Structure formats: structure tokens, C-alpha cells
Structure 1
Amino acid sequence: MRILLRASKALLRERVHHTRLSLHRCSEELYKIHLQLSSSLNATDWDKIEKITYFTSQNVEITARKTQIKKFDKLQNRQHPSDQHLRDRSVVNLTERVLDDATTSVLSKGHNFAIAPRNLPMERIITEVESAIRKLPKDDAAEIREDVSHILRTAKPPKQNLSAAEREALSKLKSDESLIILRADKGNATVLMTRKDYNEKISQLLDDPAYQQLKSNPTTRIERQVKELIKRSSIPQETQRNLIPRAAKPPRLYGLPKIHKEGVPLRPIVSQIETGYLATWGRETDKQTPAGAVALAGSRGGDGGEADLTKGAGVPSSWRRQT
């Protein structure tokens, strides 16, 4: 990309230099013609010709300038389009709060926007790497540690992609416990609503008789039963270590606003990310999975349907849907 940019700039400089050289030659040629005509014509005829040519050249210059400015503006708008109309469509404010430009700008970036860190999260990277290589052979794990260590020693933080005003607006949104930020059910928009309204809509969903509140969380008991079933099976030991759930969490319910419907109801989403590895393995090996193990095979919840700004929006884990 950098090579292409440098080549484009070099070609543009060459084109500008060639155009200026052509203009200089035209000026010299016009000056010679001017001297020839002024010496061969009388004063009256020369004054008329000079006025005609001058006004004609002025009209041609004005027309050409307007055309070039129009082309430039069109090209600039195509390469750097104004995102004000996009912001209006990508941010849905369901609160009574008036959003300033910085807040609207940071919300319009969407939930998939990755904020460039000011400092590299060394500890987090090392922890994640250690978690990923803990089941690898010692020699392979040591080689990966060495490579990661070399990369971290030479790595530099990425270029900042938020302005100071946007960072301040984001900080205020995070610290405001009365607000919640969600992804819209459709339309790829960011929805800002009050936590009170969100909780009321979630409660309305849970009023359905299809749900019941459990007296206690059965996750630990089911996790233990699944672990015993896996160990008693004929599954290879290496595969068993990957299938046995560790620190399992039950699926989590949250809602996505349906901004295209009246009243903006919530679409219930049950997050089961990384809880289906056992079922996936069962489909791949064409074997039946132990009953109740599908929802326990993972060790972490959350499927990216909500951003960090939601600050744990959801319902108590004691609520479960009846089967």
C-alpha cells in the first residue's frame, strides 16, 4: 500500500511538472506572436484585437476553472465522503439525552470497531498465549514463548484511531450506569437506551410462562456428571481433555432492540458461544453426546452480541427456559 501511494505521488508530481512546462512554452509562443502582431498592425486594430483576445481568454479560464473545481470536489467527496448522514442512520438514541458530535461519532463506529490501545496489553497477551499452549508439547510451547517474547520486545502501540474528544465521550458513556449501549437487531446500528427501559423489556420477556426461576444454579452438578460420563467413555485421552468442561457457565440471555418495529421490543438472544464444542465433536465423529453436555462444553460465555459498554447487561443466571 505504501509503495502504491509513493508511486501515485511520483506520477502526480511528474504530471504537474509536465503541465507547468507546457504552460511556459505556450507563454513564450504567445509573447512572440504578440510582438509580431504589434509591429505589423496599426494602433487601432491592435487595440481591438488585444481586447477581444483578452476577454476571450478570461472566459475560457473561468469556464475551465469551474470545471476543474467541480471535478476536484466530486473526487474529494468520493474519496472522503461526509459521514453525517451515515451517523444519523447508524446511531439510534432512545433516551431524552441530546448527544454531542463526539458522542455520536464514537457510537457511529459500531460494536466491531477496535479501539487502538495506548499501551500494549503485555500481561493479557502473555496470559492468553499461556492458556493456548498449555496442552502443547514442551518443546513446541517453549518455541512459541520465545517467538512471542521477541515480538513483544520489538512491538509498538498502534496509531491512535480516536480523537481526544471521542475518548472523553467514550469514558463518560462507560461511567454512566443509567445508560446501556446495544447492537440493533437489524440495520447494523448502535442503540442507546436507558438501563431502566432495558430491564423492563427483559422482564416482560421473562414474564412468559415458558420460563421458570430455579432455586439454585445446577451448572456445577451437571458439569460434574458430564465429566464422569466422558471419563467412562471410550473417547481417547487427548480428546477427553479437550471435551471436559472447566469453569463452565450457563448460557446467558440478553436482548437486541428491534428498531424497525413500533415500541422497539427486544429480540431475546441466548449466548452459547464455546458451549457447543462437545456437540460439534459428536457430529464430526457421528457419536451421540451425553445428555445435557451440549451447553456445558465451553468455559466462557458471551458471543460478541453486546459490547463492553453494556456493563454486564442481562438477567440473573438463575432464570432458565423450561424444556
Structure 2
Amino acid sequence: MKSGPGFKEQLVAQALNEGFVSCRVCRPWDVPEVPERLEAFLQAGYHGQMGWMAERTHWRGDPAALWPEARSVIMLAESYTPEHDPIEVLGHRERGAISVYAQNKDYHDLVKKRLKRLARWLIAEGGGEVKVFVDTAPVPEKALGHAAGLGWQGKHTNLVSRDWGSWAFIGSVFTTLELPSDMAEVDHCGSCRECLDACPTDAFPAPYQLDARRCISYLTIEHKGPVDEDLRAKLGNRIYGCDDCLAACPWNKFAVAASDLRYAARDDLKAPALAELAALDDAAFRAKFSGSPIKRIGRDRFVRNVLYAIGNSGAQGLKPVAQGLAEDADPTVVDAACWAVKQLS
């Protein structure tokens, strides 16, 4: 089996050739701070309805326990930097704002295929065994990314890099190979609080802490049922996710262009008309968002979000659209429709 510095250089070159913007290595046990942080997060109830975060905490808190045979973790970043200003759509209240990462193909599929190609190369050239992960397993990817030197966890809790900013997906390859480790990155946030001040819902109780129950990404994607009324107005026209804290980060001046054109925004998802989205039935929703991460939340939750945006639009012309959904089969949609009508009355 190969595992020396020369082989690692080949690995990095192969990763960059696959389209990743960065490739670094750490040990599975290089994140001893994670269990305490995870416990504090869960004890505060910051995970909201994401009950899965409280499951398998022995794995989520300790990557070495996830696969005890692993000796190295290869951390990889893949850029999805937008070509347009993701905040501009917030000023067009009759249109919906969709998070940049969800404006085209599902990144889970794209990143995982790239990780698997790199893993096959690793086995062929270096031997050993591998497991690949991207966002769906109990892996503390951001902490591992910090430990490997991909970047540091900023005050908004997301990974930030001096080389590629904030617009990147993170994936990992666990391997039984003993590869040379990289130095952990240091925090370069300094006194900056642009990301914290940009949050519309004050979802950060303190720097480096996130209360998901107030985060618009959580509320529009993970939260089931009606959103608390005191938060609905703060959603604005954000109908799937939120990019405000990421977009505010000054380090994005070093953002690297996405290498995969399948991350480029679809024209119909850059600033879609709320009236058209509200009219989607289940079949039309599935057809429109086939291959998109948006499909995962289902038509009812998505239309709920659209109705909140309609209620926040101030556009009287959208009132009949909301009224038309006041007798929808889904009670949460009905609640959102009635709220929107009330806001526009």
C-alpha cells in the first residue's frame, strides 16, 4: 500500500483533476471538541424538529467510532459559487428566492459520484479500503474540514476558506491508509460580524452558535407544519433556504468559479414568479423539481413557503392566488393561505 508524501501529492492532483477546489487530510480522531459542542447544541434544543441529530451521537460526535478501521480522512471542497448576485432577488417581492445550491441539480448526486471516482483511484493506486460520505451520514464534516485545513468554521458555523470563500460543498473519503495529515486552519474571522448582522431572524445566539429553530434554511426545508407567526414576516420571499450569512462573508472575494455547469442556476429558478409556483399540484411539483434537492420537501411544504412569501409581498394582485388555496387538501397550506390573505387585506 502507498501512503507517503509523494503519493499524497498524487492524490491531491487527482482530486483537483476531478473538479474539487481543495483536498486536505486529517485523522478521524482530530476533532475531540465535537462531542461537547454537539451535546450543548442538543441540550439547548437548537436542532428543533431534526430528531435525527440526537440519534447516533456516538458516531456524530466521534468519527473514529463511525469506522474504527479508518486511519485517515480525506476532506474535499467543491465550489458552487453563483454567477449572479444571490441577494438581488430579495428586492423583487413577487418572486421567490431559492438558495443558490438548489437552483439546479442535487449536489448530493454530483459530489458523491466525484468522491466515488476519487475513491476508486485511491484503491487502484494506493490499496486499502474506503468509505465516502457527503452530508447524509452522521459525520461532522465541517469540524473535520477545519481539522484538515480546508478552512475554518466561521461565526455563522459554516466553513470558510481564504482560497475559496464560503460557496463550497464538503465531502469526505475515509480510508484505512495512513496518509500524511495537514495542519488545521486557524480562525480568520477576527472582529468581523457581517454574517451575524445579515441574518434576518437573529438565528445566532452568539458567534459560532446557530439556533436552527430560527434559521430560514431550517424553517423552509426541515420544519414540518406551520411556522411560528412571529417568524413568517422575517422569511420575506425566501421559499427554499437562505444565503444571507454566506453572501455577507468578505472572504467570498476569493471565491472560485464552479467547475461543474450543472451547478449553474436554471433560468426558471433564479427568480421564479410566486403565482406560478403556488399553482403547482403534486405532479407538476415533482416534474418541475425532478433531479433537484427541492423535490425532497414535497409539494405541500414548498407551497406553504410560497404562500408565506405571497403574504409578505404586499402585492394585491397575488391575493386571489392565496384565496385559491384556502381550501387546499393540506391543513398547513390552508393555514398559510389564510395568513397570506390576511396580510394582503
- When normalised by structure 1's length, the TM-score is 0.23
Give the helix-richer structure, 1 or 2: 1
Q: Max radius of gyration: which structure?
A: 1
User: Which structure would you say has the larger RCO, counting Cα contacts within 8 Å and 6 or more residues apart?
Assistant: 2
